[in-house]
Structure 1
Amino acid sequence: DRTNSFDIKESMTVHCGFVKGTKPGHQTGFEIDEDILPELDQFHDVIVASAIFGKYDIIQEPVNISEMARKNIPFYMFIDEETHSYLKNTSRYSDDNKRVGLWTIIVVHNVPYTDARRNGKIPKLLLHRLFPNVRYSIWLDAKLQLVVDPYQILERFLWRTNSSIAMSRHYRRFDVFVEAEANKAARKYDNASIDYQVEFYKKEGLTPYTDAKLPITSDVPEGCTIIREHIPITNLF
């Protein structure tokens, strides 16, 4: 199925590797409150999104946002129940308005993983599925603060170059195999899982990074910022 998915057709099905179900946020193992679900189906030209799971980060208010962006661009922050409880006790957040500054808070229940980092990957990588009627999205890890107007970001990284996706690269490492060893040293995941993933990459034809791969400047996306157009091929990202 995976190999066939790269044969782009006018109509095709691409399976989701994270959650089950037919509608994002409903009976999927990544549950979103019923009163919020209609919001996911709304049409928007642009959205900005982020997530905090396991109360690892604090909500940072975007700055330098134009009046046009404030009026037309929704800002969504996904949080789990643990972070939700923390927010209610330590911030101006209330369940009545579900907002902190510009951010609309979306509480996720029944998360599929015990590791908060893995749960955070779901909205990060599948934002185009959670918001199927959005044209463009900007993902920002919660450790970062948005300090540039979203329209300027889209113009610089997508519209100016006629691109469909842009992603931040790793600030230090450019080689996947070096990154794998660094993850082992940091004990982010068990070594067997990392080795399995590396072997998969090798079978797919990945080789160590060298200057011969230029103009590709890195094989290691850091992914703390993802700017994408929501088009069918985005499903193959």
Structure 2
Amino acid sequence: MPSSSSLIQGISISVSDNDEATGKVRVRVRRKRHREPVSARRRRILFRWVRRGVPLLLAFLAVSLLLYESYRLGPFRSPSPRTPVAADLSRLDRSTRAGADGARKSCLKLLNPRELQNLELPETPETSRLIKEVVCRSSQPHREDDISLHRENSRLNSFTGYQTLTEREESFKVKESVTVHCGFYNENGGFRVSDVDKEYMRSCEVLVATCAFGGGDDLHQPIGMTENSIRKVCYVAFWDEVTRAAQEEEGNKIGKDLMIGLWRIILVSNLPFSDQRLNGKIPKLISHRLFPMARYSIWVDSKSQFRRDPLGVLEALLWRSNSSLALSEHGARSSLYDEAKAIVKKHKATPEEVNCQLDQYRQDGIPDEKRFNGKKALAEASVIVRDHAPLTNLFMCLWFNEVVRFTSRDQLSFPYVLRRLNPPGVHLFPVCARKELVNSFGHRRKVKDLVKEAR
């Protein structure tokens, strides 16, 4: 008999010959459909949104980037500070910060133009009671065995003299007459300038100085000065032949009067160090050795353009506060030990060089503190405003010696000299004031170290 099936109350019953014979009925129950777990459903929905959302997100980012570039390059946007174009080179707008009352205030308070035009140098101040004379060791050569002892593992040479650690320690003792190494140790040491340039440098009473060795930077003309300062201030740029050749390719040729714009160009030959950064420390830190008659100087790194009246800057940062040395506070850090970590991280010096310097500073008792005399001790030294009094000259000689002995990162050695010598009249002005003093463009080209034989 063929199989038959019937539906009784939603149950399918199949009957076969064998089932009837045995009296058994096979019941087939319809299985319920299993529902998908909630977590799997959520994952599927999330995947669908991601698959659809990623292209939309990428499209949004592309449009945003396009709009940003259009805004940055448009006529309503000021040029990048790293691009020295004409609009930047004449920028005199003041940097401001919010005061306690919320009003925007200038960080650098200069005298008004009429007062600047009539500003005169103050009377020659009385010599410091602490130090009356700084004697350089230029005429006191070392014994030959001392020279050979220090040639092996030091950057000291016939320009710097071979300062021993005992002499280094003695140089920090403040007394009326101090004898100290301060460059130009030997006439064969290097950093030679012409007799005409020497005569010019002897005529300068106030100067703004910069340098570019190895062709790394362009020459930025100073702006913002009064006619009074143009008459009384020497603007001096130290170059080597590499820089002159690079600048001539840019169309900046030295005139018959040895000038380019307001800058008097001093050509230097026979640079004493293979490290060009170290060569740049000579006019930066020991300008009193180059300008024997100068009373005041302002140093500006070659990557920056000076844009304020020099006499006004001296009045605001030195004379008004009875200071002798003024630098900008460091904008990012306060401790020299934190600065050392940053120097190594940014590959600005080797870990071995930095550790050697820090080991000596720890041995000399310099603590890992972020404040000194209630103020931040770490300085950003791209602008240095100073007088040329004996105590300040000693400070700069000691600072130069630390840069030569250890690393060329002068921010690392400044707080050490500040703590050891502890001179009065050091003014660390806020970063916003530095931004009012200069337009910063950054370094344009990479400078290659000189290949020199050991002296």
* Alignment TM-score, normalising by the size of structure 2: 0.48
Report whether the alignment pairs 1:73 with 2:233: yes
Q: Does 1:228 align with 2:386?
A: yes
Separation (CA, whole Å) in 2 of partners of 1:80 and 1:171: 31
Q: 1-side partners of 2:237 and 2:273: how far apart? A: 19
- Give, in whole Å, the separation in 1 of the partners of 2:247 and 2:256: 13
Aligned position for 2:46: none
TM-score normalised by L of structure 1: 0.89
Q: How many residues in Structure 1 have an aligned counterpart in Structure 2? A: 229
Structure 2 residue 197 is matched with structure 1 residue 39: no
Identify the residue that residue 190 of structure 1 maps to in structure 2. 350
User: Corresponding residue for 1:13?
Assistant: 179
CA distance in 2, matches of 1:195, 1:118: 19
Moved over 3 A (4+): 6-12
Contact persistence 2:193–2:269 (CA under 8 A) = yes
Contact 2:204 2:234 in 1 (8 A): no
Whichever residue aligns with residue 171 of structure 2, its letter is: S
Q: CA deviation at 1:87?
A: 1.8
Report if aligned partners of 2:222, 2:262 keep a CA contact under 8 Å in 1.
Answer: yes
Equivalent position of 2:421 in the other structure: none
Q: Give 2:224's aligned amino acid.
A: N
Structure 2: how far apart are the matches of 1:105 and 1:38?
13
For the 8 Å contact 1:92–1:100, the answer to whether it is kept is yes
Q: Helix, strand or coil for the counterpart of 1:70?
A: helix
State the match for 1:215 in structure 2. Answer: 374
Of residues 316, 320, 331 in structure 2, which corresponds to 1:171? 331
**Root-mean-square deviation over aligned CA pairs:** 1.8
Q: Secondary structure of the residue that 2:248 maps to in structure 1? A: helix
Distance (Å, rounded) in 1 between the aligned partners of 2:333 and 2:292: 33
Equivalent residue, structure 2, for 1:101: 261
Greater CA deviation, 155-164 or 84-93?
84-93
Matching residue's letter, 2:179: T
CA deviations over 1:164-198 (Å, ceiling 9, x no partner): 11112222121111111111122222221111111
Q: Which amino acid aligns with 1:163?
A: S
- Given residue 347 of structure 2, which amino acid in structure 1 is its aligned partner? R
Equivalent residue of 1:76, what SS? strand
Distance 1:91 1:201, change over 3 A: farther
What 5-or-longer segments of structure 1 have no aligned partner?
none
CA distances 1:14-56 after superposition (whole Å, capped 9, x unpaired): 212x4432xxxx6431111232112222251x11101112222
Maintained 8 Å contact 1:14/1:235: no
Say if 2:254 and 2:265, in contact at 8 Å, map to a contact too.
no
Select the structure with the greater relative contact order (CA < 8 A; seq sep ≥ 6): 1
The amino acid that maps onto 1:20 is: Y
Q: CA deviation at 1:141?
A: 0.7
* SS of aligned partner of 2:214: coil
Identity of aligned residues (%): 37
Instruction: Give yes or no for the alignment of 1:4 onto 2:170.
Output: yes
Give me the whole-angstrom Cα distance separating, in 2, the residues matched to 1:232 and 1:137. 14
Query: 1:15-164 residue pairs with structure 2 within 5 A?
Result: 15-16=181-182, 18-21=183-186, 27-44=188-205, 46-94=206-254, 96-164=256-324
Answer whether contact 2:189 2:272 (CA < 8 A) is retained: no
